[in-house]
């Protein structure tokens, strides 16, 4: 039996290549023992990689120089909101510059990227495509609306946007942080993608990305409204009553004094947030704003009633000359 001191650096806590294991003095028998699992050919680790993200991270020891994780795989590494319909897909997507050998193997999909588009990063030790290149290479597997959700997350500056993995962790108490990508970067790579697979979807999505979003469901709420043929609401509106700040609302028709709020589960389970929400909605009503609150149940699978509520609110505002 051998202990962690016999393993390559970090092997006790994460995956390592068979080559590194041998160089650290482990025998073939040890490497092939029940002590380790093999999430990928040529890789060993303690424990079992079960989620798509864990399986992707377990492939990192096999990445060659200038090979990076890309597409949906990289999106997971960046903490972007990958659609739940892909939760069961653990395929590892790898990018290499054009002219380099592409890795092959079960559960691996690789593609070559033109040098002009190549942009690699090191995200806390994981070689990964840049946020913009991640977004572009994910277009092969995502619908336009899903690309908009990812795009809104990439340009988000609020630290309230959960799960995003930023190169530099925001300081405690910080309310904003640099975005992972800019609108200009996303529009630029969408245009540069040309006729490559997903190019048309990228260009449509780039025009629909908005600044100021703080959650994937805020994006989805906006897209549901627009898909119903209603005017697009403004994102992240600060409501003031003269010099008094009333609050920030997810979406709003400012002229019509209509606020639309998406309420995730944390709004219900966090007592402080729940009280804050109630106080904000009550204050909005006091200054003659109409608030519509939505949950997942209102938006999925059929948002008809929610859309009807928004439409009716707009009609009432029009009738009173707002």
**Of 153, 174, 206, which residue constitutes the final position of a domain?**
206
- Within the chain, what is the greatest distance between any pair of CA atoms? 81
Same domain, 68 and 161: yes
Same domain, 79 and 28: no
pLDDT of residue 275: 77
Asked whether 66 and 46 are in contact (CB, 8 A), the reply is no
pLDDT of residue 4: 43
Structural domain of residue 11, as residue ranges? 1-48
Instruction: Kindly report the length of the chain.
Output: 322
Q: Indicate whether 57 belongs to any domain.
A: yes
pLDDT of residue 270: 59
Same domain, 264 and 183: no
Same domain, 298 and 165: no
pLDDT of residue 11: 54
Question: Mapping DSSP to helix (H, G, I), strand (E, B) and coil, where does residue 5 land?
Answer: helix
Residue partners of 267: CB distance under 8 A and separation at least 6: 273, 274, 277
Whole-Å CA distances, 200 to 170, 207, 314: 35, 11, 33
**Of 176, 206, 236, which residue constitutes the final position of a domain?**
206
Same domain, 43 and 110: no
Same domain, 268 and 282: yes
Count CB atoms within 10 A of the CB of residue 212: 17
Quote the CA–CA distance of 188 and 182 in Å, as a whole number: 10
Same domain, 192 and 269: no
Same domain, 308 and 178: no
Q: Indicate whether 211 belongs to any domain.
A: no
**Of 48, 66, 87, which residue constitutes the final position of a domain?**
48
Q: What's the structural domain count of the chain?
A: 3
Each residue's pLDDT tens digit in the chain (322 positions)?
A: 344 455 655 455 689 999 999 998 999 999 999 999 999 999 999 999 999 999 999 999 999 988 999 999 999 999 999 999 999 999 999 999 999 999 988 999 999 999 999 999 999 999 999 999 999 999 999 999 999 999 999 999 999 999 999 999 999 999 999 999 999 999 999 999 999 999 999 999 999 999 999 999 999 999 999 999 999 999 999 999 999 999 999 999 999 999 999 997 554 555 776 778 788 899 999 999 999 999 999 998 899 999 999 999 999 999 988 6
Same domain, 103 and 164: yes
Same domain, 25 and 77: no
Query: First vs last Cα of the chain: how many Å apart?
Result: 77
pLDDT of residue 139: 98
pLDDT of residue 269: 52
Same domain, 300 and 228: yes
DSSP code, position 86: G
């Amino acid at each position: 039996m051998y202990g962690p001191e016999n393993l390559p650096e970090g092997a006790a806590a994460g995956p390592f290549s068979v080559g590194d294991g041998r160089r650290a003095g482990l025998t073939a028998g040890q490497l092939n023992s029940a002590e380790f699992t093999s999430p990928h050919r040529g890789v060993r680790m303690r424990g079992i990689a079960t989620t798509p993200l864990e399986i992707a991270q377990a492939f990192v020891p096999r990445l060659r120089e200038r090979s990076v994780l890309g597409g949906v795989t990289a999106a997971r590494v960046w903490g972007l909101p990958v659609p739940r319909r892909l939760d069961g897909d653990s395929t590892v997507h790898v990018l290499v510059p054009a002219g380099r050998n592409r890795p092959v193997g079960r559960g691996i999909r690789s593609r070559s990227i033109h040098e002009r588009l190549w942009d690699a990063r090191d995200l806390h030790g994981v070689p990964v495509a840049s946020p913009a290149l991640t977004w572009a290479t994910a277009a092969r597997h995502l619908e336009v609306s899903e690309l908009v959700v990812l795009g809104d997350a990439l340009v988000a500056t609020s630290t309230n946007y959960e799960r995003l993995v930023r190169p530099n962790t925001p300081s405690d108490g910080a309310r904003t942080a640099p975005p992972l990508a800019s609108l200009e970067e996303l529009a630029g790579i969408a245009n540069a993608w040309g006729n490559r697979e997903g190019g048309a979807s990228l260009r449509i999505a780039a025009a629909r990305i908005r600044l100021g979003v703080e959650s994937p469901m805020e994006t989805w709420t906006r897209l549901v409204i627009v898909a119903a043929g209603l005017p697009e609401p403004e994102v992240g509106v600060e409501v003031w009553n003269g010099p008094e700040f009333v609050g920030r609302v997810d979406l709003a028709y400012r002229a019509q004094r209509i606020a639309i709020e998406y309420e995730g589960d944390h709004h219900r389970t966090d007592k402080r947030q729940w009280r804050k929400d109630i106080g904000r909605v009550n204050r909005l009503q006091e200054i003659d704003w109409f608030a519509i609150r939505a949950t997942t149940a209102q938006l999925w699978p059929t948002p008809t009633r929610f859309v009807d509520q928004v439409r009716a609110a707009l009609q009432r505002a029009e009738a009173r000359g707002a």
